[in-house]
Amino acid sequence: MDFLIMNHMGFPILSALIFLPLVGALILLCIPGETAAKNWTMLVTVVTALVSLPLYWNFDATTAKYQFGEHASWISALHINYTLGIDGISLLLVLLTTLIMPLCVLGSWRYIDKRVKEFMICLLLMETSMLGVFMALDFILFYLLWEAMLIPMYLLIAVWGGPRKVYASTKFFLYTLAGSVLLLVAIIALYLDQGTFSIPTLMGQDYSTNFQILIFLAFFLAFAIKVPMFPFHTWLPAAHVEAPTAGSVILASILLKMGTYGFLRFCLPITPEATMIFVPYILWLSVAGILYGGFTALAQQDMKKLIAYSSVGHMGFVTLGIFVLNQQGIEGALLQMINHGITTGALFFCVGMIYERTHSRELDAAAGLGKYMPVYVSFLAFFSLSSLAFPGTNSFVGEFLILVGGFANNKIVTAFAIPGAVLAAAYMFRMLQRVVWGRPVNPDHSGILDLNVREMVTLAPLLFFVFWIGLAPAPFLKVMHVSVTHLIEQVGVASGGTVSVAKLMIP
Amino acid sequence: MKLMLFAPELFLLLGSLILFLVSTGKVGGKKARAVTLSLALINVLVCFACLHQEGSLFHEAYRIDFFSQLVKLVISMGFAVVLLFSTELKGIDDGVRPEYYLFLTLSTLGLLMLVSSVELLTMFIALELSSYSLYLLVPMRDDRTGLRMQMESAIKYILFGVVATGVMLFGMSYLFGLTGTTYLVELLPRLHQMMGSPAALIAIAMVLGGFFFKLAVFPFHSWVPDVYQGASNETTAFIASVPKVAAVAMLIRLTALATPEGQPIVMLLIVLSVCSMFYGNLVALVQTDIKRMLGFSGIAHAGYVLLGLVTMQEVGYATSLYYIVGYLVMSLAGFLVICKVSEHGENLAVDDLSGLHKRSPLLALTLAVSMFAMAGIPPFVGFMGKFMLLTGAYKAGHLPLVILAAINTAIAIYYYLSVVRVVYSASPEDRPAVVVGGMAKAVSVGLVMIIIAMGIFPDQILQLATDAVRAIL
> For the segment A278-313, what is each residue's pLDDT rounded down to a tens digit?
988 999 999 999 999 999 999 988 888 999 999 999
- Across the interface, do A76 and B459 touch by the CB < 8 Å criterion? yes
Residue B460, C-beta contacts closer than 8 angstroms, at least 6 positions apart: none
d(CA A116, CA B408) in angstroms, rounded, equals: 36
Rg of chain A over CA atoms, in angstroms?
22
What would the pLDDT profile of B120-136 be if each residue is shown by its tens digit?
A: 889 899 999 999 998 98
Q: Do A243 and A157 form a contact (C-beta atoms < 8 A)?
A: yes
Q: pTM for this structure?
A: 0.90
CA distance A42 to A4: 33
Give the type of residue at A251. L
pLDDT digits over B415-442, tens only? 998 899 888 888 878 788 888 888 888 9
Burial of B26 (0-12, 13-18, 19+ CB in 10 A): exposed
**Cβ–Cβ < 8 Å for A92, A338:** yes
Report CB contact under 8 Å: B421, A78. Answer: no
Rounded to whole angstroms, the Cα distance separating B187 from A149 reads 51
Query: To 10 degrees, the CA torsion angle through A394, A396, A402, A408?
Result: -140
Task: Pick the range with the lowest mean pLDDT from A151-165, A487-501, B122-136.
Answer: A487-501
The pLDDT value given to residue A442: 57
Residue B47 above 90 pLDDT? no
pLDDT at A504 over 70: no
pLDDT attached to residue B200: 82
CA distance A161 to A241: 9
A174–B417 C-beta distance less than 8 A: yes
In the prediction, which pLDDT does A131 show? 93
Please give the tally of structural domains in chain B: 1
Q: B421 and A170: CB-CB below 8 Å?
A: yes
Report the Cα–Cα distance between both ends of chain B, in Å, rounded.
25
Average pLDDT, chain A: 87
Put simply, the answer to whether B388 touches A78 (Cβ < 8 Å) is yes
Which chain A residues contact residue B394 at CB under 8 A?
185, 188-189, 192
- pLDDT value at position A499? 42
What are the pLDDT digits (tens) for B234-279? 889 999 999 999 999 988 888 876 666 677 888 888 999 999 999 9
Query: Are β-strands A66-75 and A4-6 bridged in parallel, bridged antiparallel, or unpaired?
Result: parallel
CA A331 → CA A61, A250, A271, distances in Å? 14, 23, 20
Query: Mutation test of the interface with chain B: which of A75, A169, A182, choosing the one with the most B Cβ atoms within 10 A?
Result: A75
The percentage of residues in chain B with a pLDDT greater than 70, rounded to a whole number, is 99
Share of residues in chain B with pLDDT > 90 (%): 25
Cα A273 from Cα B454, distance rounded (Å): 39
CA distance B423 to chain A (A): 10
Measure in Å the smallest separation between the Cα of A66 and chain B Cα atoms.
25
Calculate the average pLDDT of chain B: 87
**What DSSP state is assigned to residue B138?**
G
Q: Closest to A181 (Cβ–Cβ): which among B409, B418, B463?
A: B409
Model pLDDT, residue B350: 86
Phi then psi dihedrals of residue A71, to 5 deg: -145, 130
To the nearest whole Å, the CA of A125 is away from the closest chain B CA by: 12
Q: What is the C-alpha separation between B161 and B204, in angstroms, rounded?
A: 18
Whole-number pLDDT of residue A497: 40
How many CB atoms within 10 Å of residue A232? 20
Tell me which DSSP letter residue A77 carries. Answer: G
Per residue in B294-353, pLDDT tens?
999 999 999 999 988 888 888 889 999 999 999 999 999 999 999 888 888 788 888 888
Q: Are strands B55-57 and B62-64 parallel, antiparallel or unpaired?
A: antiparallel
**Interchain CB distance below 8 Å, B458 and A75:** yes
Instruction: Indicate if the pLDDT at residue B32 is higher than 60.
Output: yes
Per residue in A387-427, pLDDT tens? 988 888 999 999 999 998 888 888 888 888 888 888 999 99
- Contact call for A181 and B379, based on CB within 8 A: no
Full DSSP string of B194-228: TTTSHHHHHHHHHHHHHHHHHHT-TTS-TTHHHHH
If we measure between CA atoms, which residue out of A385, A383, A388 comes closest to residue A421? A388
- Confidence band (pLDDT; 50, 70, 90) for B467? confident
CA of A145: how far to CAs of A18, A127, A298, in Å?
A: 11, 11, 36
For the ranges A104-118, A349-363, B380-394, the maximum mean pLDDT occurs at B380-394
B421 interaction partners in chain A (CB closer than 8 Å): 158, 166, 169-170
Q: How confident is the model at residue A444 (pLDDT cuts 50, 70, 90)?
A: low
Tell me which of B425 and A119 has the higher pLDDT: A119
Kindly indicate the confidence band of residue A202, based on its pLDDT and cuts at 50, 70 and 90. confident
What pLDDT, on a 0 to 100 scale, did the predictor assign at position A450?
82
- By CA distance, what is B355's nearest residue in A? A159
Calculate how close chain B gets to A70, using CA atoms only, in Å.
Answer: 18
Taking a C-beta distance cutoff of 8 angstroms, is the pair B65, B472 a contact?
yes
Most confident range (mean pLDDT) of A8-17, A41-50, A475-484 is A41-50
Q: How far apart are CA A359 and CA B127, in angstroms?
A: 64
DSSP annotation of B431: P
Among the partner-chain residues A75, A158, A181, the one whose CB lies closest to the CB of B421 is A158
Question: DSSP assignment of B388-423, as one string?
Answer: HHHHHHHHTT-HHHHHHHHHHHHHHHHHHHHHHHHH
Which of A202-211, A358-367, B366-375 tops mean pLDDT?
B366-375
Residues of B within 8 A of A154 (CB-CB) are 417, 420
What band does A495 get if pLDDT is binned at 50, 70 and 90?
Answer: very low
- Select the residue of B378, B390, B417 nearest A148 (Cβ to Cβ): B378
Contact B383 A147 (CB under 8 A): yes
Q: Which of B402, B425, B445, B460 to mutate to test the interface with A (most CBs of A within 10 A)?
A: B425
Question: In B52-84, which positions are buried (b, 16+ CB within 10 angstroms) versus exposed (e)?
Answer: ebeebeeeebbbbbbbbbbbbbbbbbbbbbbbb
Shortest CA gap A503–chain B (Å): 33
Q: What H or E segment, with its residue span, contains residue A85?
A: strand A80-86
**Cβ contacts from A onto B, under 8 A:** 86
Instruction: Please tell me the distance in Å from B404's CA to the nearest CA on chain A.
Output: 10
Residue A144 touches partner B, C-beta closer than 8 Å: yes
CA dihedral A426, A429, A433, A434 (to 10 degrees): 70
Give how far B402 is from chain A: nearest CA, Å: 7
Mean pLDDT value across residues A93-120? 88
Residue-number span of the structural domain to which B426 is assigned: 2-472
CB B254 within 8 A of CB B215: no
* Residue among B413, B425, B466 whose CB faces A158 most closely: B425
pLDDT on residue A507? 42
Burial class (CB within 10 angstroms; exposed 0-12, middle 13-18, buried 19+) of A77 = middle
Would you state the pLDDT for residue B79?
92
Please tell me the predicted confidence (pLDDT) of residue A114. 82
Q: How far apart are CA A351 and CA A354, in angstroms?
A: 5
Which phi-psi region, left, alpha or beta, contains residue A147 (left: φ > 0; alpha: ψ -120 to 50)? alpha
Contact A280, A264 (CB under 8 A): no
- Nearest-Cα distance to chain A for B362, in Å, is 12
Helical residues (DSSP H) of B25-148, grouped into ranges: 29-49, 66-85, 97-116, 120-137
pLDDT confidence of residue A443: 63
Average pLDDT over residues A343-363: 87
Q: Do B391 and A78 touch (CB under 8 A)?
A: yes
What is the predicted pLDDT for the residue at B331?
93
Taking CA atoms, what residue in B is nearest to A129? B379
Look at B388 and A170 and tell me if their CB atoms are within 8 Å: no
Of B406, B458, B466, the CB nearest to A184: B406
Mean pLDDT of A65-93: 88
pLDDT at B150: 82
